[in-house]
């Protein structure tokens, strides 16, 4: 996939993977009251579990209740989206407000808002609700996608995931355990594949490969991460990604840059903050 098509895919790519990992808030609520070390499928599963304990698991997110942050997204052509995001972790409620959106609905001048209140998806342009089905369909994709990227590490322990330990690899002097992640399918449709590179020294995912099957992207993208500590939770807030291969080779192609700033937990958000 080349040129603008690849960039358009990359933007929408906030990615379909979130749909593979979507789990119910009931499961998370149950886990929050009784945390136990699982019976591991294999070494790969254990490595992912230990990594999640290092960054902070979903129960810790539930204890924070909610989060707000600024999401800045820039493609290699310099076009930028800046979104003010907020989520409630129980129920995975999600809201985004964009005053700058050069890649997302650039034809709509002014402020756009989109949200998921636990049952309905909605979209507003300059405060006016738009019920266009094509627009709402994109909201159905982007809202869980953005939530998923924020909570990805925690959600790697969701039900319906299989783990395969690939082996060890040294990249730029760092030793990694490589774990392949796959997702069970209830509808026999192909699902995305992830390949995590867990730093043996820090126990963090420094980078990972991922596909976007829903958009025909079966060749992997390479995502590299840098973390910040916010209230005891390690957040992969500085991110960049581009096309790669299954050996995680870095090409000379430009990166798509993503930065999360002004991250704040426990804002006393309520469901009303997510209503249309």
The verdict on residue 196 lying in a domain is: yes
pLDDT at 212: 76
Question: What would the mean pLDDT of 151-178 be, rounded to a whole number?
Answer: 96
Tally Cβ neighbours within 10 Å of residue 81: 23
- Of 56-70, 103-117, 202-216, which range is least confident? 202-216
User: Of residues 6 and 106, which shows the higher confidence score?
Assistant: 106
Q: Is the pLDDT of residue 219 over 80?
A: yes
Nearest-angstrom CA–CA distance, 88 and 71 = 16
Instruction: Give mean pLDDT, residues 114-143.
Output: 96
Query: Whole-angstrom Cα distance, residue 244 to residue 219?
Result: 7
275: in domain: no
φ/ψ (deg, to 5) at 129: -70, 135
Which residue carries 């322990």 as its tokens?
157
Whether residue 131 lies inside any domain: the answer is yes
pLDDT tens sequence across 14-23: 444 444 444 4
Asked whether residue 200 is domain-assigned, the answer is yes
Q: Is residue 12 part of a domain?
A: yes
3-state secondary structure of 269: coil
Identify the band that residue 180 occupies on the pLDDT scale cut at 50, 70 and 90.
very high
| Lowest-pLDDT choice from 18-27, 51-60, 221-230 | 18-27
Q: Could you report the per-residue pLDDT of 75-127, keeping only the tens digit for each?
A: 999 999 999 999 999 999 999 999 999 999 999 999 999 999 999 999 999 99
Buried b (16+ CB within 10 A) or exposed e, 139-171: bebbbbbbbbbbbbbbbbbbeebebbbeeeeeb
**Confidence (pLDDT) at 5:** 36
Given this model, what pLDDT does residue 186 score?
Answer: 73
In a domain, 270, yes or no: no
Residue 35 reports pLDDT greater than 70: no
Q: What's the pLDDT score for residue 188? A: 64
Residue 268 included in any domain: no
Higher-pLDDT residue of 25, 257: 257
- Residue range(s) defining the domain that contains residue 148: 3-32+42-262
Q: What pLDDT is recorded for position 90?
A: 98
Rounded Cα–Cα distance for residues 143 and 183 (Å): 20
Number of domains within the chain: 1
* DSSP code per residue over 173-242: TEEEEEEEEEE--SSS-----EEEEEETTT-SEEEEEEEEGGGTEEEEEEEEEEEEEETTEEEEEEEEEE
- The CA–CA distances, whole Å, from 120 to 68, 137, 138, 276 equal 20, 12, 13, 9
pLDDT for 190: 66
Average pLDDT over residues 61-87: 97
Q: What is the rounded CA–CA span in Å between residue 19 and residue 25? A: 14
* 128 in any annotated domain: yes
Residue of 191, 242, 240, 252 whose CA lies nearest to 220: 242
Here the CATH number for the domain that contains residue 181 is 2.50.20
Among 109-113, 192-196, 207-211, 212-216, which stretch is predicted with the lowest mean pLDDT? 212-216
Radius of gyration in angstroms for the set of CA atoms belonging to the chain, rounded to a whole number? 18
> Are the beta carbons of 236 and 225 closer than 8 angstroms?
yes
Give residue 216's pLDDT: 64
- 1 vs 203, higher pLDDT: 203
């Amino acid at each position: 996939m080349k040129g603008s098509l690849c960039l358009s895919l990359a933007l929408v790519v906030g990615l379909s993977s979130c749909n593979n990992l979507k789990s119910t808030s009931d499961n998370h609520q149950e886990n929050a009251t009784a945390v136990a070390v699982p019976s591991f499928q294999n070494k790969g599963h254990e490595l992912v579990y230990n990594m999640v304990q290092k960054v902070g698991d979903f129960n810790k997110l539930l204890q924070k209740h909610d989060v707000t942050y600024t999401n800045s997204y820039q493609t290699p052509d310099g076009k930028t989206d800046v979104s003010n995001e907020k989520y409630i972790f129980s129920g995975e409620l999600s809201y985004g407000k964009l005053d700058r959106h050069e890649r997302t609905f650039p034809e709509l001048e002014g402020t756009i808002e989109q949200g998921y209140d636990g049952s309905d998806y909605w979209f507003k342009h300059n405060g006016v609700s738009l019920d266009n089905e094509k627009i709402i369909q994109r909201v159905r994709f982007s809202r869980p996608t953005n939530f998923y990227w924020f909570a990805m590490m925690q959600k790697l322990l969701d039900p319906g995931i299989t783990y395969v330990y690939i082996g060890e690899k040294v990249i730029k002097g760092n030793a990694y355990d490589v774990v392949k992640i796959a997702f069970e399918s209830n509808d026999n449709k192909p699902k995305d594949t992830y390949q995590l590179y867990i730093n043996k020294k820090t126990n963090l995912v420094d980078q990972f490969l991922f596909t976007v099957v829903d958009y025909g992207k079966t060749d992997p993208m390479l995502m590299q991460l840098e973390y910040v500590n916010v209230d005891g939770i390690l957040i992969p807030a500085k991110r960049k990604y581009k096309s790669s291969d299954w050996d995680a080779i870095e090409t000379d192609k430009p990166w798509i840059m993503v930065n999360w700033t002004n991250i704040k937990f426990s804002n006393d958000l309520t469901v009303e903050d997510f209503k249309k």
